[in-house]
Amino acid sequence: GGTTPTTPPAPVVISAAEAARLAKQATFGPTPALIDQIVAAKSASAWIDQQFALSGSSYADIAAKPVATTFCSAQGLTGTDLNNCNRDNFGALPMSMRFYSNAVGKDDQLRQRVAFALSQIVVASDLEVHTTAGLATFNQILLSNAFGNYKDILREVTLNPFMGNFLDMVDSNKSAPNENYARELMQLFSVGTVLLNADGTTKTGADGAVIATYSNAEVKEVARALTGWTYARLDGAAISDGTKIDYSKPMIVNTARFDTKAKTFLGATIAADATPQANVDTVVDTVFNHPNTAPFISKRLIQQLVLANPSPAYVGRVSAVFADNGAGVRGDMKAVIKAILTDTEARGSAATPGKVKEPVLFLTGLARGMGLKSDGYAFYYRDNALGQMPFRATSVFNFYPYDFPLPLGAGEASPVSKLMTTSTMIARHNLAWDWTMAGEATRTEFKVQSTITGSTAVELPWTEWEALAADEAKMLDRIDLVFLNGTMTSAQRAALSSAMAAVKNTDPAVQARKRAQVALYIVASSPQFQVDR
């Protein structure tokens, strides 16, 4: 029997306000051009497909320059020259600048945003390990696999030397296996500490208590399976040479340190005399295929992109896609990301709950909404005071715990609220003032930085805003759409209008600029912008 022809569904039309809201979840901040692009795509799903095809951002060139630990001192550098050499080769500055300049300026927004989310789930930090090439190599894994498979992320990260140093798997010896990476791989990167239902809710035993996912004995078994790896060395140096570490290549086997005996954990067994690589493969396969990993990682990604408190049903829908993308593939990141961003809880009304804007998104959202262009230095200069420096988390638990309780929130979580202290909230407010009301080219962080190769001055958008300020209604429409995804109330609009009217200057251009700056400052420092709904 033939199939009955079906009428193709009518194209879904996405409104400008809904496009702006999607941009808050899936990019580093809406811009008028991006909103137009999403509206032209006609649906969230179609725009996501366009984003899947883009890959402009990269850290590969930074990763390709590993140097010996003695690199700067061997050149006879002293004083400022030595400090700058160390900053450029053993610090986060080059990576942070690249991250911010890409986040503000490159088109592959969704790839970058997912990689940033992954960097806060699978954490390795420059605060602990100081190598620019190593930091780049690690984060390139997340960028390259953001639209790949979660299993590949786990596999590549496990043998990455930056992570190996950060969580002490490198040079782990059979005589006393280091348990750090084994524990965090399970606790944070895959299965979590307690057994979960497919919707992320906790399973309980007959006694009503939660059930541990793994035992301490199993941590020890996994640690044994991960022994016998060391750094690749530069220039063919012997593995005894600790100055010639090559952070740009995966770790290599050091058989003398490898535990060849059988291991058993999480229902898996590794036979005696299996190779070190086979041991790693079995560990990764086992945690990746564990039933907990789909709900645990799906919920983390939802929290990073859309909602602090997704419903169990939302987690369950995404978790099912993690488990099977519809074609029998587990861990397909494209399918998971699309499921997260097209879910009814993500695309519901703008009044739905959301999440506090983390400091990095506050910075980039303000810059992109204003139209500011930067080599990234201005953001690096300011982010520490806001409490979040990309690639420099204070510990493997990220900048904030994913289950941080919302103060007075009746059990609701608000992870980013951990970063909302008196000092960081004042810093946010000051940043909003400095980049709008005081946003002139003479600002320290806006100037060319003479000691940084390739540094460029910030391009400020004031000419465009001066033109906009001549038509107040048009300007307020743009601010409402780009910064507040169309949620501005008539009372808020009237308040902005009167604040702008109070700004008087005999020079029409100066008056227009200052009126625009007042409106931008008020909105940027408002709760309506600081919380993404």
| Per-position pLDDT tens, the chain of length 533 | 566 667 766 666 899 999 999 999 999 999 999 999 999 999 999 999 999 999 999 999 999 999 999 999 999 999 999 999 999 999 999 999 999 999 999 999 999 999 999 999 999 999 999 999 999 999 999 999 999 999 999 999 999 999 999 999 999 999 999 999 999 999 999 999 999 999 999 999 999 999 999 999 999 999 999 999 999 999 999 999 999 999 999 999 999 999 999 999 999 999 999 999 999 999 999 999 999 999 999 999 999 999 999 999 999 999 999 999 999 999 999 999 999 999 999 997 645 688 999 999 999 999 999 999 999 999 999 999 999 999 999 999 999 999 999 988 888 999 999 999 999 999 999 999 999 999 999 999 999 999 999 999 999 999 999 999 889 999 999 999 999 999 999 999 999 999 999 999 999 999 999 999 999 999 999 999 999 98
Query: Would 143 be classed as within a structural domain?
Result: no
Residue 8 burial class via C-beta count within 10 angstroms: exposed 0-12, middle 13-18, buried 19 and up: exposed
Phi, psi of 34 (to 5 degrees): -65, -40
Query: Would 346 be classed as within a structural domain?
Result: no
Terminal CA-CA length for the chain: 49
Note whether 102 and 133 are within 8 A (CB).
Answer: no
Note whether 437 and 518 are within 8 A (CB).
Answer: yes
State how far the Cα of 58 lies from the Cα of 140, in Å rounded to an integer.
Answer: 7
Query: Would 444 be classed as within a structural domain?
Result: yes
State how far the Cα of 500 lies from the Cα of 511, in Å rounded to an integer.
Answer: 9
The DSSP call for residue 11 is P
Note whether 357 and 29 are within 8 A (CB).
Answer: no
State how far the Cα of 285 lies from the Cα of 266, in Å rounded to an integer.
Answer: 11
Rounded (5°) CA angle 31-33-35: 70
Note whether 158 and 180 are within 8 A (CB).
Answer: no
Which of 223, 107, 124 has its CA nearest to residue 164?
124
Query: Would 274 be classed as within a structural domain?
Result: no
Strand partners, 112: none
Report yes or no on whether pTM surpasses 0.75.
yes
Which of 518, 386, 372 has its CA nearest to residue 456?
372
Q: Which residue has the tokens 């699309």?
A: 338
Query: Would 189 be classed as within a structural domain?
Result: no
Q: How many domains does the chain have?
A: 1
Return the number of other C-beta atoms located less than 10 Å from residue 247's C-beta. 24
Which domain does 412 fall in, by range?
356-532
Give how far Cα 87 sits from Cα of 402, 419, 516, Å. 31, 26, 38
Give how far Cα 190 sits from Cα of 64, 137, 161, 338, 346, Å. 29, 21, 20, 20, 24
Query: Would 172 be classed as within a structural domain?
Result: no
Phi, psi of 439 (to 5 degrees): -85, 60
Query: Would 386 be classed as within a structural domain?
Result: yes
Return the number of other C-beta atoms located less than 10 Å from residue 81's C-beta. 13
Query: Would 362 be classed as within a structural domain?
Result: yes
Phi-psi region of 421 (alpha: psi -120 to 50; beta: other; left: phi over 0): beta
